[in-house]
């Protein structure tokens, strides 16, 4: 593992920092919390024009996963609305890895402009962790597939141009073997979207599929090979862009507020801040390791689970500690007078638990580590 950034990546990081300094404003950050939509087309366009998006797509040949990690690490530290573009770039990487030439030519350029977002339709009302059991059906009818079912937590479905959709195409084989992934335009007839608010602020959606008819050209990867496509997507989601630097800005906000109100010299407060800083550094290094593995031709499935569990649980612990130390002021929200750290502590206390759920819960990631790394017996079949 080489932690040093090569000169061209340092140059890339400098450009990322410049674009953030020029474009990310307090109003932009405010807008994401008011709307619950973690996206800014303005910022996406600025990053696209500077060539940052093109370089960050895994495997596209113009950059590597180290650049992808650098981009999201910097965006996360600045608290920019980046979640939606990160999913879009990750899916561009998946299309690049397993898509047809037609899909690559049609979809990837639209994502690289920063205008076209992608939502992920994996989870269903009854199947989230056990996603291999999903029941949304795609049935062949002549030259077409007919898709019927419902998905839950289809984040950004209300804005996205594209949808990556996991379906069951063969119910008569072991569950992991009868799945097929589609990539579809969101305006395909038969798709409807219903909003779902969450405690962590981010707006998500339930999506419904009513006799959605599409041709073979929208199958992503091979028929009945959807589980393999999921594996590629999840390795990037957990490993390289897993929301693993969120505690860093929280620490900054808490530190500034503690100094302002005279708490920063309290030994317990200092000890907790030091621990949060150490955990944030470990989270960063675990994530950088994933990026390095991906850049060296590997797939950081196991290491991604390790980074995600450690970083998201440390973030949740930090937000609880800071809320306890802030007392009642830690319960006040953005724009309320006297809110500790301008409301960030209250926000992070609501948002941090959610990060231990999406992209695979901590329990599921622990099972992954236990089974694949420690050789312990399987938790489920
Ligand atoms: C804000 C938000 C955004 C999301 N965005 C998306 C999205 O864009 N696209 C998408 O497809 N999904 C999305 N998800 C869904 C997310 O991936 C699932 O919520 C997650 O995988 C858990 O599934 P579940 O909610 O069905 O919980 P369940 O699977 O029902 O789990 C409930 C509890 O049981 C535990 N558990 C389950 N199975 C096991 C086991 N085998 N061993 C030990 N413990 C277990 C879990 O850890 C959890 O604590 C999002 C979720 C949230 C909250």
Q: Is 296's pLDDT higher than 90?
A: no
The residue among 301 and 92 whose pLDDT is bigger is 92
Q: Which of 116, 139, 160 is the last residue of a domain?
A: 116
- CATH of residue 185's domain is 2.40.110.10
Whether residues 137 and 247 fall in one domain: no
Residue 242 confidence class, pLDDT cut points 50, 70, 90 = low
Return the ligand 1 atom nearest residue 357 CA: 20
- Nearest residue (CA) to ligand 1, atom 30: 128
Residue 241 confidence class, pLDDT cut points 50, 70, 90 = low
- Nearest residue (CA) to ligand 1, atom 16: 358
- CATH of residue 61's domain is 1.10.540.10
Q: What is the DSSP letter of 216?
A: G
Which pLDDT value is given to residue 134? 98
Residue 365 confidence class, pLDDT cut points 50, 70, 90 = very high
Listed in order, strand segments (DSSP E) in 160-312 are 162-168, 179-185, 191-196, 204-215, 219-220
Distance 153 CA to ligand 1 centre (A): 9
Q: Is 56's pLDDT higher than 90?
A: no
Which pLDDT value is given to residue 291? 87
Q: Is 238's pLDDT higher than 90?
A: no
Whether residues 360 and 258 fall in one domain: yes
Whether residues 322 and 343 fall in one domain: yes
Mean pLDDT of all residues in 132-160: 97
Tally of domains within the chain: 3
378 domain residue, yes or no: no
Closest CA to 311 of 250, 226, 377, 227: 250
Mean pLDDT of all residues in 333-350: 97
Q: Which residue has the tokens 């405690």?
A: 199
Return the ligand 1 atom nearest residue 125 CA: 26
Percent of the chain with pLDDT over 90: 83
pLDDT tens digits, one per residue of 258-284: 999 999 999 999 999 999 999 999 999
Low-confidence winner among 82-86, 169-173, 202-206, 296-300 (lowest mean pLDDT): 296-300
What residues are paired with 180 via a beta bridge?
Answer: 167
Q: Is 237's pLDDT higher than 70?
A: no
Length of the chain: 381
Cα distance between residue 367 and residue 376, in whole Å: 9
| This prediction's pTM | 0.94
What residues are paired with 206 via a beta bridge?
Answer: 152, 194
Domain that holds residue 37: 7-116
CB atoms within 10 A of CB 105: 10
Q: Which residue has the tokens 């141009």?
A: 161
Task: Assign 35 to helix, strand or coil.
Answer: helix
Residue 60 confidence class, pLDDT cut points 50, 70, 90 = confident
Distance 352 CA to ligand 1 centre (A): 15
Q: Is 209's pLDDT higher than 70?
A: yes
Give 3-state DSSP helix, strand, coil % of the chain, rounded to 5.
55, 15, 30
Percent of the chain with pLDDT over 70: 97
152 domain residue, yes or no: yes
Q: What are phi and psi of 123, to 5 degrees?
A: -65, 150
Distance 249 CA to ligand 1 centre (A): 26
**Ligand 1 binding pocket, CB closer than 6 Å:** 119-123, 128-129, 153-155, 198, 200, 202, 204, 354, 357-358, 360-361, 363-364, 367, 379-380
- Nearest residue (CA) to ligand 1, atom 35: 363
Cβ–Cβ < 8 Å for 47, 114: yes
- CATH of residue 284's domain is 1.20.140.10
- Nearest residue (CA) to ligand 1, atom 18: 128
182 domain residue, yes or no: yes
Q: Which of 207, 229, 251 is the last residue of a domain?
A: 229
356 domain residue, yes or no: yes
379 domain residue, yes or no: no
Question: Rounded mean pLDDT of the chain?
Answer: 93
First to last CA, the chain: 34
Cβ–Cβ < 8 Å for 163, 170: no
Mind spelling out the 3-state secondary structure of 311-349?
A: HHHHHHHHHHHHHHHHHHHHHCCCCCCCCHHHHHHHHHH
Whether residues 111 and 125 fall in one domain: no
Which pLDDT value is given to residue 298? 82
Mean pLDDT of all residues in 316-336: 97
- Nearest residue (CA) to ligand 1, atom 2: 358
Q: Is 327's pLDDT higher than 70?
A: yes
Cα distance between residue 257 and residue 268, in whole Å: 15
381 domain residue, yes or no: no
Which pLDDT value is given to residue 379? 75
Q: Is 344's pLDDT higher than 90?
A: yes
Q: Which residues of 215-237 are buried (b: 16+ CB within 10 A; e: fewer)?
A: eeebbbbebbbbbebbebbbbbb
Residue 59 confidence class, pLDDT cut points 50, 70, 90 = confident
- Nearest residue (CA) to ligand 1, atom 13: 153
Which pLDDT value is given to residue 236? 66
Residue 355 confidence class, pLDDT cut points 50, 70, 90 = very high
Closest CA to 59 of 33, 94, 84: 94
Return the ligand 1 atom nearest residue 360 CA: 21
Which residues have a Cβ under 8 Å from the Cβ of 116 and sit 6 or more positions away? 88, 107, 110, 160, 161, 162
Low-confidence winner among 216-220, 240-244, 252-256 (lowest mean pLDDT): 240-244
């Amino acid at each position: 593992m080489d932690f040093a950034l090569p000169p061209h990546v340092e140059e890339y990081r400098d450009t990322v920092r410049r674009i953030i300094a020029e474009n990310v404003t307090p109003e932009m950050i405010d807008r994401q919390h008011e709307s619950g939509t973690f996206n800014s087309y303005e910022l996406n366009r600025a990053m696209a024009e500077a060539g940052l998006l093109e370089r960050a797509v895994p495997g596209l040949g113009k950059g590597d996963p180290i650049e992808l990690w650098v981009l999201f690490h910097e965006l996360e530290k600045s608290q920019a609305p980046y979640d939606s573009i990160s999913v879009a770039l990750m899916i561009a990487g998946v299309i690049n890895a397993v898509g047809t030439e037609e899909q690559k030519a049609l979809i990837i350029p639209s994502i690289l402009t920063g205008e076209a977002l992608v939502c992920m339709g994996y989870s269903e009302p009854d199947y989230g962790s056990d996603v291999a059991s999903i029941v949304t059906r795609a049935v062949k009818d002549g030259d077409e597939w007919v898709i019927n079912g419902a998905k839950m937590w289809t984040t950004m479905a209300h804005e996205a141009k594209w949808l990556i959709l996991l379906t069951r195409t063969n119910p008569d084989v072991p569950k992991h073997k009868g799945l097929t992934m589609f990539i579809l335009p969101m305006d395909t007839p038969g798709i409807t979207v219903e909003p779902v608010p969450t405690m962590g602020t981010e707006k998500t959606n339930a999506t419904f599929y009513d006799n959605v008819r599409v041709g073979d050209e929208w199958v992503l990867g091979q028929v009945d090979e959807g589980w393999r496509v999921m594996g590629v997507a999840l390795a990037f989601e957990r490993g390289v862009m897993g929301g693993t630097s969120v505690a860093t800005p929280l620490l900054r906000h808490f530190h500034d507020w503690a100094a302002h109100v005279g708490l920063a010299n309290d030994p317990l407060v200092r000890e907790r801040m030091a621990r949060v800083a150490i955990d944030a550094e470990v989270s960063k290094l675990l994530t950088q390791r994933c990026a390095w593995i991906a850049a060296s031709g590997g797939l950081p499935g196991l290491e991604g689970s390790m980074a995600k569990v450690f970083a998201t649980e440390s973030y949740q612990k930090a937000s609880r500690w800071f809320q306890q130390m802030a007392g009642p002021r830690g319960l006040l929200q953005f724009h309320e007078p006297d809110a500790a750290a301008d409301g960030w502590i209250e926000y992070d206390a609501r948002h941090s638990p959610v990060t231990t759920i999406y992209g695979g819960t901590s329990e599921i990631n622990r099972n992954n580590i236990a089974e694949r790394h420690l050789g312990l017996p399987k938790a489920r079949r």
